[in-house]
């Protein structure tokens, strides 16, 4: 087996099973604490965009994981929407819109521009999860196996992109991999007892986005979470700087 095939299919395999630990975590604990809904909405868009990109460059190892990954992402969005009492259609529409924009960029401007553009939603998705890991009172809902897999997945795609000289993959994997590594390290610190940090500015921006997305014209494309009952979103409430992380269940 050539290095290109090895790294390509290794990345495909990891990408295919990447979201499964998060699904298991949500089903087992029924907790969405620390899980970013906006991040998974963007991941759905990335699944759609990279799936079509795989068809355009005729790379089966890119088509398979993103096709199956899209199914897993939709399952996660359904579970989160159920726990937070959100309409499923409204939950998935932002991701579909993001995917459509990515496909349009790929068709019009080509692979390199697509890769550079794809970094934007990838950064948003991973930073969205970073924010939740930093500010959430608890991070019980986040699967450590998913975080480890995310780092490994980006490392494999980077190696594959370098071997086949696909600039889109190299650019996206480098930037996204750095953020996924931060998420893994920060999750470990939170599990070790690190307190949540207050992010007042971010919270105010999210409130503004929520209000914007609640308007009829923006409801179908807004990424911000709409205001919800406090008991439906335990991880989204005000962060108390003095709260100490509680004893946590065993990691997956």
In whole numbers, what is the pLDDT of the chain averaged over residues?
A: 79
pLDDT-derived band at 207 (thresholds 50, 70, 90) equals low
Q: Give CA torsion, residues 159, 160, 165, 171, to 10 deg.
A: -60
Q: What is the pLDDT of residue 211?
A: 59
pTM, two decimal places: 0.65
Q: What is the pLDDT of residue 2?
A: 86
Of 118, 124, 150, 96, give the one whose Cα is nearest residue 206: 124
pLDDT-derived band at 243 (thresholds 50, 70, 90) equals very low
Q: What is the pLDDT of residue 71?
A: 93
pLDDT of residue 32 exceeding 80, the answer is yes
Q: What is the pLDDT of residue 124?
A: 84
What are 66-100's pLDDT values in tens digits? Answer: 899 899 999 999 999 998 889 999 999 999 999 99
Q: What is the pLDDT of residue 94?
A: 93
**Which residues touch 90 (CB under 8 Å, ≥6 apart)?**
219, 220
- 116-125, 204-213, 236-245: least confident range: 236-245
Residue 141, helix vs strand vs coil: coil
Q: d(Cα 231, Cα 22) in Å, to the nearest integer?
A: 22
b/e string for 174-212 if b means 16 or more Cβ within 10 A?
A: bbbbebbbbbbebbeebeeebebeeeeeeeeebeebbee
Arithmetic mean of pLDDT, 108-113: 89
Q: What is the pLDDT of residue 212?
A: 53
CA 249 to chain centre: 23
Inter-residue contact 91 to 80 (CB < 8 Å): yes
Q: What is the pLDDT of residue 51?
A: 94
């Amino acid at each position: 087996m050539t290095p290109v095939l090895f790294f390509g299919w290794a990345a495909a395999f990891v990408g295919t099973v990447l979201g499964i630990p998060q699904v298991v975590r949500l089903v087992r604990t029924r907790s969405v604490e620390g899980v970013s809904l906006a991040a998974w909405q963007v991941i759905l868009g990335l699944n759609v965009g990279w799936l079509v990109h795989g068809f355009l460059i005729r790379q089966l190892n890119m088509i398979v994981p993103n096709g199956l990954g899209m199914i897993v992402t939709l399952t996660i969005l359904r579970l989160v929407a159920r726990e937070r009492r959100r309409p499923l259609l409204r939950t998935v529409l932002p991701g579909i819109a993001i995917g459509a924009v990515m496909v349009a960029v790929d068709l019009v401007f080509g692979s390199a521009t697509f890769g550079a553009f794809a970094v934007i939603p990838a950064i948003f998705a991973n930073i969205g999860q970073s924010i939740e890991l930093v500010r959430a009172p608890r991070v019980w809902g986040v699967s450590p196996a998913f975080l480890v897999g995310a780092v490994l997945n980006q490392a494999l795609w980077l190696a594959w992109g370098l071997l086949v000289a696909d600039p889109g993959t190299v650019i996206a994997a480098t930037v996204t991999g750095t953020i996924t590594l931060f998420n893994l390290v920060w999750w470990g610190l939170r599990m070790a007892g690190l307190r949540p940090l207050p992010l007042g500015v971010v919270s105010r921006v999210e409130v503004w986005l929520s209000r914007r997305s609640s308007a009829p014209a923006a409801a179908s494309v807004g990424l911000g979470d709409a205001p919800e009952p406090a008991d439906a979103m335990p991880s989204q409430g005000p962060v108390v700087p003095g709260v100490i992380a509680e004893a946590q269940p065993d990691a997956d």
